[in-house]
Amino acid sequence: MSSSARTRSAAGTAWPAVMGANDVTIGFGAATVMSDITVEFPAGTVTALVGPSGSGKTTFLRSLNRMNDKVRNFWLRGQISLDGVDINGPAVDPLVLRRRVGMVFQRPNPFPMSIQDNIVAGVKAHKMAKRSELRDIAETQLAEVGLWSAVADRLDDSPFRLSGGQQQLLCLARALAVKPEVLLLDEPTSSLDPRSTEAVEELVRRLTPDLTVIIVTHNLEQARRLSDSTIFFYEGRLVETGPTVDLFERPQRPETARYLGGAVNPGADR
């Protein structure tokens, strides 16, 4: 690949990576919660994961950066790959993997430290910058998520006095500060007001194609607005996947049609 093809964007974000799952089955102890998942997340695109509660979206998402490793009785068969490399292979350090594949959760989880220290926590842990550069990095990242003007004069304050929406943007800034190649978002706006939701959506839109984004959402309009592709999970199976427009306008499977049409229980005939 030519060097220009991998030049970082003006915003300084990363270059995107392709993730894939090949025949992945996941469980906890005797229970199998995801079966035979094969899917590819093309570099630089947004993929939405949708489906009723309990269909396995979070479990699957957390397996993409090995967040389940320490969960009791967790097991996984099949391959999950990042740019063609099995992320569960012996050569992969989970900490390095999680720098490359970042994650933001449903509830904002700022660390109990100052706003600036939150943003640069990963940068420091991975020794990605000199001490003298940290403040500038904090400013750049906060500006990228649209928080700079709100917090410019309180970088040393606790993040816990920020609004929920601002805290979530802070967590996004923290995730982006380590230049991930893939960003995993698990219902990132479900606890936010409409205005903060819009801010997060706007940011996600700006992140591609520099980043590969995989977002779990219960908000079907959000999936439609934001994603290039959609995957519909139901009861631990990948029922249908395709370009978002196709899935919403011409679903091939009756369960998909029912769920995207607003049914709470897509398995039941009406």
Ligand X SMILES: Nc1ncnc2c1ncn2[C@@H]1O[C@H](COP(=O)(O)OP(=O)(O)O)[C@@H](O)[C@H]1O
- State how far the Cα of 40 lies from the Cα of 19, in Å rounded to an integer: 6
Nearer to ligand X, 139 or 235 (CB): 235
User: Interface with Mg ion by CB under 5 A: which range of 53-61, 80-88, 155-163, 243-251?
Assistant: 53-61
Q: Which stretch binds Mg ion (CB under 5 A): 58-66, 78-86, 125-133, 251-259?
A: 58-66
How far apart CA 26 and CA 94 sit, in angstroms, is 18
Distance from the Cα of residue 138 to its chain's centroid: 21
- 63 makes contact with Mg ion (CB under 5 A): no
Minimum separation from the CB atom of position 209 to Mg ion (A):
26
SS3 state at 28: strand
* Contact indicator for 190, 108 with CB cutoff of 8 Å: no
Binding site partner of 33, from Mg ion, ligand X, none, Cβ cut-off 5-8 A by kind: ligand X
CA 39 – CA 36 distance, rounded (Å): 10
CA angle, residues 264, 268, 270, in degrees to nearest 5: 90
Shortest distance, position 54 Cβ to ligand X, whole Å:
5
Nearer to ligand X, 16 or 236 (CB): 236
Residues with Cβ within 8 Å of residue 138, at least 6 apart in sequence: 115, 116, 119, 120, 155, 177
Q: How far is the CB of 204 from ligand X (least distance, A)?
A: 19
Please say whether the beta carbons of 180 and 102 come within 8 A.
Answer: yes
Smallest gap from residue 62 Cβ to ligand X (A): 8
**Which residue sits closest to Mg ion, CB atoms considered?**
58
Q: Which amino acid is at 259?
A: Y
Binding site for ligand X (CB under 6 A): 28, 31, 33, 51, 53-59, 71
Q: Which is nearer to Mg ion, 58 or 241 (CB)?
A: 58
Residue carrying the six token digits 């967790």 = 74
Q: Which does 59 bind (CB under 5 to 8 A by kind): ligand X, Mg ion, none?
A: ligand X
Q: Which is nearer to ligand X, 64 or 142 (CB)?
A: 64
Interface residues toward Mg ion, by CB under 5 A? 58
